[in-house]
Structure 1
Amino acid sequence: MTEQTKQTKQTKQTKQVSNEALATQLLAVHESRNPIDFISQRYELTAKQAYEVQEVYADARAKQTGKEKKGHKISMTSPATQALFGAKEPAYGTLFEDTIHTGDTELELASMMSPLLEPEIVFVLKEDLSVGAEEGEILEKSVLSAGIEVPDSRFADWFPKFQLMDLICDNGVTGKVVVSDKGRDDLTLAEVEQIKLTLVHDGKEVGTGFATEVMGNPVTSVAWLTRKLADENKYLKKGMIISSGTFLSPIPLGKGIFEADFSQLGKVKLQVF
């Protein structure tokens, strides 16, 4: 470690900032549309501290927009992505009414910052889950649907340069989630594990992936979330939407028609103009 690096690290550690101040900076980007520099360039936060910032941000966003919290998204569900950011587990963010789109959807590229695209299975809860619910209960109480997540960030030039604390503070880089208006609630754990994804852009196949890329099984990803929330005595409620983790490495979102086809679940389409 160079002397300059030591000094930078020391400076970051000695700076003090409130959760409210960091959340306000992130929230301001919604209005200004001017992305900010990474928080990790200025401060040192633990994952726990970053989640505290996220909670303040999510509460403030819901109050400012009048859009209720409607679920969660799960990120870094593969060992490769966790290794990339020095993480030992996934991370999560909060979804809101205005981040969720049901059925085939059109989005304007200019309405977003620097979006990516990730095909994911989305869980729609038919009933409340118990605190720390496990896979069997999750399957019993969920409808599984084809989904496309569009991660986006309040940070400039963010992917893949951000640190774990940046992702968590920035609400798990939540952008949009498109979920099919059809789904299934009769699949076994083994059947979910066998689901294959085919992603098509303007009629051309651009990638395939498998459910095993998501913590071995997307249901296991949701079970991780229930345990993580249980640490705060929180649980997932009826009607919530859970985007469980991508089948593919993220790709930059461009214009055109994207179609995510999940075997046993069906398709969902996103048109970007």
Structure 2
Amino acid sequence: MAEQVKQVTKEQLAAQLLQVYETKQPIDFFSNVHNLSVEESYEVQQVFAAKRSKQTGKEIKGYKISMTSPRTQALFSASEPAFGTLFDDTLHRGHTELELASMFSPLLEPEIVFVLKEDLSIGAAEQEILEKCVLHAGLEIPDSRFADWFPKFQLSDLICDNGVTGKVVLAASGRDDLTQEEAAQIKLTLTQDGKHLDTGYATEVMGNPVASVAWLTQKLGEKNQYLKKGMAISSGTFLSPIPLAAGSYSADFSHIGQIKLEVN
């Protein structure tokens, strides 16, 4: 009976998150009421992802990885990153225009996006990932269904809310010939309206963004799941997140290329 109650709760929480897309009214943190474990939070996310895919007809197209630095993990007393699910309508390729009004309270994070040329084996390690992926310049736009969410949410809220997935913008082309050493040396320069905002380095992402994707393959492998051809993996931010505002953004990644975003 207790397990049935838990399942009902997970269904209800996932339904509440989905309803926010329709009402455009963010809700209160689940952590204010429910003491969910990490595993239970991922179960809510899984129910949410399945319901959203069925409701919208949008297929699951990959994952995003959060909390890839010791600094961000420390905020939640966590010992590892967390992930969320990407859909068809989450991903935008090439020069992209987005409307602030279409989002809730978005942030901006420059990230390398790995796109799979073929399936990865369960628990694939760094070398296989590099051999089977194209690395693209990217910008992730975290967004949440919770009101006044950043940086006040708890780890369970982040995981339940699909890793606070909003949008992921990636360059139309990338590189598939980098070594692990070259991937670790990538430098990021972020500008807004031609003005320098910040500079970041790949080492902020678990020492190397390839290690971040390897963590995800291990995490999924625990449930006998693997990353499939065509999926996109947003691997973790080079910088602390900044509030997304109107303007023209450009993220220039050495060795990889550039991605531009217009926000109106």
Both structures adopt the same fold (TM-score exceeding 0.5): yes
- Equivalent pairs: percent with the same residue? 70
Q: Distance in 2 between matches of 1:43 and 1:266?
A: 43
Taking the TM superposition and a 5 Å limit, the aligned residue runs for 1:1-273 are 18-273=9-264
Task: Give how far 1:240 is off.
Answer: 0.1
Task: Give how far 1:18 is off.
Answer: 1.5
TM-score, normalised to structure 1, is: 0.94
Q: Distance in 2 between matches of 1:111 and 1:241?
A: 22
RMSD: 0.9
The AA in structure 2 aligned to 1:192 is A
Report which of the two structures shows the higher radius of gyration computed on alpha carbons: 1
Cα distance per residue 1:126-150 (max 9 Å; x no partner): 0000000000000000000100000
TM-score, normalised to structure 2, is: 0.97
Q: Distance in 2 between matches of 1:221 and 1:123?
A: 11
Unaligned runs of 5+ in 2: none
| Pairs aligned (count) | 259
| Residue aligned with 2:261, SS | strand
Q: Distance in 2 between matches of 1:40 and 1:33?
A: 21
Task: Give how far 1:115 is off.
Answer: 0.2
The AA in structure 1 aligned to 2:170 is V
Cα distance per residue 1:97-126 (max 9 Å; x no partner): 000000010000000000000000000000
Q: Distance in 2 between matches of 1:141 and 1:116?
A: 30
Q: Distance in 2 between matches of 1:271 and 1:191?
A: 29
User: After TM superposition, where is structure 1 displaced by more than 2 Å over at least 4 residues in a row?
Assistant: none
Query: Bigger shift: 16-25 or 96-105?
Result: 16-25
Q: Distance in 2 between matches of 1:193 and 1:104?
A: 26
Q: Which residue of 2 aligns with 1:3?
A: none
Q: Distance in 2 between matches of 1:32 and 1:88?
A: 35
Task: Give how far 1:181 is off.
Answer: 0.4
